[in-house]
């Protein structure tokens, strides 16, 4: 067994275990942390497939940003575990169908010899100076530029919609204007008074 | 001698050699962290007209070791109701990215552990994992103050990471590479004036300030906020578990300073080209790192703590627009052929 194979199996084991724990862990925070672990394991597998850019982006975007916000929300929820399990039997048939479909797809992929998927040509090896980032960038901004821009606009619409749905302006909120605060001069706030010193009461008497 | 050792170890040689290189990076790093704590106390002491620690060893030079020894001797207390596994995992999760990011940091043209193509992206990805230590620490401690601290820290780090990432986009546009060695080589030329701090000045400032915010240092230390929430996310930690958080904070400071020096201050390139080339490149880099670290300490001694809503405003409404405008500007200059660097 080569070192690569060993690393692949180790990462795959971690990935499967973490993915299982995501749906079996009782505590939602634990489930979210296991999801993070499965992302990291998946990034490792992508690295083995020489997709460095995708692997690093997976860690950067999903582990570094998305899951942090996820945890942020989940940690603040006071989750009632009994109510969470209520819908289990209702959703079981739908979940079962999705699961069966996934298993069927896996069978097609893994049993490639029977379905002659294995006759796909081996991907060509890369030259020494090959940079997957440059290739990806070139493709995104030339061949797929419209799809890329449309995806960006759709995301923008989603952002605006999410903000519009949750934005409530309260009338009694107080705001500061930092520009105004910075522009304040001493003369606006303080008046210097030239005042003669006065004698104490006992001295006056 | 090297060859004979190589033959002796045979196939295990690459592993041993890499491990030796890792130790050669991590050991000086930990020592620098120890002396950075002393430097901080001394520098802030002098700025406040005090002497600072001067009892342990000659002029207090053994103070860091006394501190470490004290922390090692103390009991690590796990609070009742805390999630023990996550409680112990949290300090490890903070120190891991602070150490792992050094894998791609070049110390001189040849001296780099892994000269990877996407070094800048790797650093962004690894450092973005540091926030998990803080979040897990706050949650697993089963304490209100720790939880508040970790909430604040999560929001702050996620906000400033965007500005930081955009600042780095500016650097990679200027250098046309994600490789840190290439980025430094792109700043070669007229010495001080050809480094990227000049054409990318707003991004340099944004990166430096976001770096202070990312490391939870004053004036952005609301996550610890001694006067508000005791010690924030690590309030329940004692002994060496606390020590590891401490180590991670200072290691992160050194990392941010190193990245700042490499990307904006010319890395190992000398200040002026001709008369100063006799100084080895690595000393230039170390000098620049020390300078940026001094800025960190200076900030702490100078500025009062930002209020939480002011931090958010600065990040989202000031820094992100500045970086966006500057990125477009760089792109336009490059396209028009007016880019002089």
Cβ atoms of residues B126 and B138 within 8 Å: no
Tokens of A85: 């399990």
Q: Give the pLDDT confidence score for residue A121 in this predicted structure.
A: 62
- Closest-approach residue (CA) in chain A for B148: A76
User: b vs e for A83-103, b when ≥16 Cβ sit within 10 Å of the residue's Cβ?
Assistant: eeeeeeeeeeeeeeeeeeeee
Range picked from B54-63, B68-77, B321-330 for highest mean pLDDT: B321-330
Range picked from A91-100, B4-13, B137-146 for highest mean pLDDT: A91-100
Per-residue model confidence as pLDDT tens digits over A36-45: 999 999 998 8
Q: Hey, how many other C-beta atoms are within 10 angstroms of the C-beta on B297? A: 20
Place of tokens 């200076």: B298
Per-residue pLDDT, averaged over A128-150, amounts to 82
Q: Give the pLDDT confidence score for residue A147 in this predicted structure.
A: 92
Is the model's pLDDT at B1 over the cut of 70? Answer: no
Is the model's pLDDT at A22 over the cut of 70? Answer: yes
Query: How far does chain A reach from its first CA to its final CA, in angstroms?
Result: 106
Cβ contact (<8 Å) for A29 and B139? yes
Q: What Å distances lie between residue A92 and A4, A86, A98, B236, CA to CA?
A: 38, 11, 10, 42
How far apart are alpha carbons B61 and B52 in whole angstroms? 11
Cβ atoms of residues A59 and B128 within 8 Å: yes
Show which of residues 131-160 on chain A sit within 8 Å of chain B, judged by CB atoms: 131, 133
Measure B277 CA to nearest chain A CA, in Å: 31
Cβ atoms of residues A41 and A9 within 8 Å: no
Q: What Å distances lie between residue B132 and B136, B177, B207, CA to CA?
A: 6, 29, 21
How far apart are alpha carbons B268 and B280 in whole angstroms? 8
Is the model's pLDDT at A17 over the cut of 70? Answer: yes
Tell me what ipTM this predicted complex has.
0.80
How far apart are alpha carbons A101 and B12 in whole angstroms? 45
DSSP assigned state of B275: T
> Given CB atoms, is A120 within the 8 Å cutoff of chain B?
no
Coil, strand, or helix at residue A9? helix
Binning pLDDT at 50, 70 and 90, where does residue A176 land? confident
> Given CB atoms, is A57 within the 8 Å cutoff of chain B?
yes
Share above pLDDT 70 across residues of chain B, in percent, rounded to a whole number: 96
Is the model's pLDDT at B304 over the cut of 80? Answer: yes
Q: Give the pLDDT confidence score for residue B321 in this predicted structure.
A: 92
Tokens of B255: 């990392």
How far apart are alpha carbons B28 and B99 in whole angstroms? 12
Measure A133 CA to nearest chain B CA, in Å: 8
Binning pLDDT at 50, 70 and 90, where does residue B130 land? confident
A174 or B27, higher pLDDT: B27
Nearest by CB: B139 against A36, A75, A131? A75
Measure A96 CA to nearest chain B CA, in Å: 33
Measure A157 CA to nearest chain B CA, in Å: 19
| Alpha carbon of residue B292 to chain centroid | 10
Arithmetic mean of pLDDT over chain A: 82
Per-residue pLDDT, averaged over B307-318, amounts to 85
Binning pLDDT at 50, 70 and 90, where does residue B2 land? low
Cβ contact (<8 Å) for B151 and A72? yes
Q: Give the pLDDT confidence score for residue A117 in this predicted structure.
A: 54
Cβ contact (<8 Å) for B157 and A71? no
Is the model's pLDDT at A77 over the cut of 80? Answer: no
Q: What Å distances lie between residue B242 and B70, B206, B327, CA to CA?
A: 12, 30, 40
Binning pLDDT at 50, 70 and 90, where does residue B12 land? confident
Show which of residues 80-119 on chain A sit within 8 Å of chain B, judged by CB atoms: none
Per-residue pLDDT, averaged over B217-233, amounts to 76
Per-residue model confidence as pLDDT tens digits over B189-200: 777 778 888 888
B72 or B222, higher pLDDT: B72
Binning pLDDT at 50, 70 and 90, where does residue B308 land? confident
Is the model's pLDDT at A106 over the cut of 80? Answer: yes
Q: Give the pLDDT confidence score for residue B206 in this predicted structure.
A: 92
Q: Give the pLDDT confidence score for residue B116 in this predicted structure.
A: 78
0.80 exceeded by pTM: yes
Q: Give the pLDDT confidence score for residue A158 in this predicted structure.
A: 94
Q: Give the pLDDT confidence score for residue A116 in this predicted structure.
A: 64
- Compute the residue count for chain A: 205
Is the model's pLDDT at B180 over the cut of 80? Answer: yes
Tokens of A79: 């989750």
Is the model's pLDDT at A62 over the cut of 90? Answer: no
Q: What Å distances lie between residue A169 and A22, A172, A173, B310, CA to CA?
A: 37, 9, 8, 19
Is the model's pLDDT at A172 over the cut of 70? Answer: yes
Coil, strand, or helix at residue B317? helix
Binning pLDDT at 50, 70 and 90, where does residue B323 land? very high
Compute, in degrees rounded to 10, the torsion defined by CA atoms A167, A169, A173, A175: 70
Q: What Å distances lie between residue B326 and B201, B206, B318, CA to CA?
A: 10, 11, 12
Per-residue pLDDT, averaged over B157-186, amounts to 85
Q: Give the pLDDT confidence score for residue B269 in this predicted structure.
A: 79
Burial class (CB in 10 A: 0-12, 13-18, 19+), B74: middle
Per-residue pLDDT, averaged over A53-80, amounts to 81
Q: Give the pLDDT confidence score for residue A119 in this predicted structure.
A: 61
B315-322 contacts at long range (C-beta below 8 A, 24 or more positions apart): B315/B156, B315/B159, B315/B160, B315/B162, B315/B163, B315/B210, B315/B213, B316/B159, B319/B160, B319/B163, B319/B206, B319/B209, B319/B210, B320/B162, B320/B163, B320/B166, B322/B202, B322/B203, B322/B206
> Given CB atoms, is A36 within the 8 Å cutoff of chain B?
yes
Measure B125 CA to nearest chain A CA, in Å: 4
Tokens of A136: 């990806």
Q: Give the pLDDT confidence score for residue B294 in this predicted structure.
A: 92
| Alpha carbon of residue B208 to chain centroid | 10
A134 vs B contacts (CB less than 8 Å): none
Cβ contact (<8 Å) for A68 and B178? no
Binning pLDDT at 50, 70 and 90, where does residue B149 land? confident
- What residues have CB less than 8 Å from A126, skipping those under 6 apart? A50, A132
Question: What single string gives the DSSP state of each residue in B158-204?
Answer: HHHHHHHHHHHHHHHHHHT-S-HHHHHHTT-SSGGGGSTTTTTHHHH
């Amino acid at each position: 067994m080569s070192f690569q194979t060993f690393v692949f199996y180790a990462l795959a084991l971690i990935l499967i275990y973490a993915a299982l724990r995501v749906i079996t862990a009782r505590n939602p925070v634990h489930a979210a942390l296991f999801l993070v672990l499965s992302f990291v394991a998946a990034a490792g597998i992508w690295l083995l497939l020489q997709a460095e850019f995708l692997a690093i982006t997976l860690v950067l975007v999903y582990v570094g940003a998305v899951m942090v916000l996820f945890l942020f929300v989940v940690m603040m929820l006071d989750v009632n575990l009994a109510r969470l399990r209520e819908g289990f039997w209702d959703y079981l048939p739908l979940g079962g169908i999705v699961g069966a479909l996934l298993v069927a797809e896996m069978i097609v992929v893994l049993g490639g010899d029977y379905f002659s998927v294995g006759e796909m040509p081996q991907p060509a090896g890369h030259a020494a100076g090959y940079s997957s980032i440059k290739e990806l960038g070139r493709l995104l901004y030339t061949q797929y530029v419209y799809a890329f821009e449309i995806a960006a606009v759709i995301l923008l619409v989603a952002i605006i919609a999410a903000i519009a749905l949750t934005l409530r302006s309260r009338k009694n909120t107080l705001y500061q204007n930092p520009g105004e605060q910075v522009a304040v001069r001493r003369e606006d706030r303080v008046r210097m008074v030239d005042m003669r010193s006065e004698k104490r009461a006992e001295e006056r008497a | 001698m090297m060859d004979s050792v190589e033959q002796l170890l045979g196939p295990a040689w690459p592993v041993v050699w890499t491990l030796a290189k890792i130790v050669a990076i991590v050991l000086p790093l930990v020592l620098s962290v120890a002396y950075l704590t002393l430097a901080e106390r001394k520098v802030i002491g002098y700025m406040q007209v005090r002497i600072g620690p001067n009892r342990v060893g000659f002029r207090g030079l053994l103070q860091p070791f006394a501190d470490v020894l004290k922390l090692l001797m103390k009991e690590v207390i796990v609070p009742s109701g805390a999630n023990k596994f996550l409680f112990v995992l949290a300090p490890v999760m903070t120190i891991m990215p602070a150490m792992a990011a050094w894998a791609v940091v070049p110390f001189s043209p040849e001296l780099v552990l892994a000269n990877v193509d996407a070094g800048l992206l790797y650093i962004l990805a690894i450092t973005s994992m540091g926030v998990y230590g803080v979040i897990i620490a706050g949650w697993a401690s089963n304490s209100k103050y720790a939880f508040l601290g970790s909430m604040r820290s999560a929001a702050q780090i996620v906000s400033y990471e965007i500005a930081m990432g955009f600042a780095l986009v500016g650097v990679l546009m200027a250098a046309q590479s994600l490789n840190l060695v290439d980025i430094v080589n792109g700043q070669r030329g007229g010495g001080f004036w050809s480094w990227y701090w000049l054409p990318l000045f707003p991004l340099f400032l944004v990166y430096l300030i976001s770096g202070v915010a990312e490391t939870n240092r004053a004036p952005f230390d609301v996550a610890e906020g001694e006067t508000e929430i005791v010690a924030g996310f690590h309030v329940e930690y004692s002994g060496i578990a606390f020590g590891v958080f401490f180590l991670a904070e200072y290691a992160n400071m050194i990392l941010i300073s190193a990245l700042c020096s490499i990307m904006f201050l010319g890395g190992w390139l000398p200040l002026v080209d001709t008369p100063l080339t006799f100084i080895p490149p690595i000393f230039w880099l170390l000098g620049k790192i020390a300078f940026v670290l001094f800025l960190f300490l200076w900030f702490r001694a100078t500025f009062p703590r930002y209020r939480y809503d002011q931090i958010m405003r600065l990040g989202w409404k000031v820094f992100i627009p500045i970086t966006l405008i500057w990125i477009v500007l760089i792109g336009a200059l490059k396209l028009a052929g007016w880019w002089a660097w």
